[in-house]
Structure 1
Amino acid sequence: MRELVWLAPTATIHEATMMINDERVRNAASDMLMTIGNSHRLLILKLLLEQEVSVGQLGHTVGLNQSALSQHLAKSRDKDLYQSSMKPTLGIPKCCRI
């Protein structure tokens, strides 16, 4: 997903058109929009932009149980939208940050 090219606000109409004509760019943008198109994942990303937060705190704030939160985090992690640090002995996410 790191190949995703975002249209800069300063891009000319010609530059934007050229980027949109590239099927890889369209597919990557579509994929990213589908990932953040879920209201829970969008809220999770908003919270992570504000501060690093523990997984437990994140679940409490968003109002999701551990299983549902884990699924949303996995989909976001697969797209490199956040990073997590692990508890060394347990191998589970401890804190998340963008």
Structure 2
Amino acid sequence: MSGFDSEFDAVVVGSGPNGLMAAVTMAEAGRRVLLVEAAGVCGGGLRTEELTLPGFRHDVCATILAMALASPAFRGLGLDVEWAHPPVPAAHPLDRRPA
């Protein structure tokens, strides 16, 4: 748009894993990024909340991102978190056949 001026180079809508990674990648490239989220906390569908009783935490949407550590983008963040690893990271069940 001719003559369009903004204090941001990009606007990212949604602070789920993909939105956060997009915002971080553009910010690291020197872009001015605005990240907006409708919910009161970041994380999108990958967040945990106390939904029933105090101390009982529930995954709101996605329980796991089995391939998150396979992502060079996520590994490159150097997150100081403890990753939980399920015994079977991914399965594709087939009708009447083993996964």
TM-score range, shorter chain: under 0.3
Which structure has the larger Rg over C-alpha atoms? 2
Structure with more contact order per residue of length (Cα contacts < 8 Å, sep ≥ 6): 1
TM-score (norm 2): 0.27
